[in-house]
Amino acid sequence: MAIENADIEKIAVLARLQVDPNEINDYTNSISSILSLIDQMQQVDTNGIEPLSNPHDATQRLREDIVTCDNQRDAFIAIAPATQDGLYLVPKVLD
């Protein structure tokens, strides 16, 4: 697929990008070479080749949902500097 300078200018307008007119030829050459490489890759025969593994195909090992430590709320409340009705009291930050 050939791309021309006018295509680059149109893409820049649609993407709301400011492209320096002196660099349009460089962009055209770069994108053309990328599209040429894609065309070459499309022509490769991939019949009989298995796809690589995909992380979305994996399942996650899950553990049982059981409590592993005791409730230490009373111990934490006991060492707090200020509490009231089981809640921590903190200094007022905003007026």
SS3 83: strand
Tell whether the model's pLDDT for residue 61 goes beyond 90. Answer: no
8 Å CB contact between 89 and 82? yes
Query: pTM higher than 0.85 for the full model?
Result: no
Break the chain into its structural domains and give their ranges: 5-42
Question: Any alpha helices (H) in the chain, and if so which ranges?
Answer: 5-14, 24-42, 73-79
How far apart, in Å, are the Cα atoms of 84 and each of 49, 53, 88? 68, 55, 7
Measured CA to CA, the distance from residue 8 to residue 32 in angstroms comes to: 11
Average pLDDT, integer, range 22-38? 94
Q: Determine the average pLDDT of the residues in 19-41.
A: 94
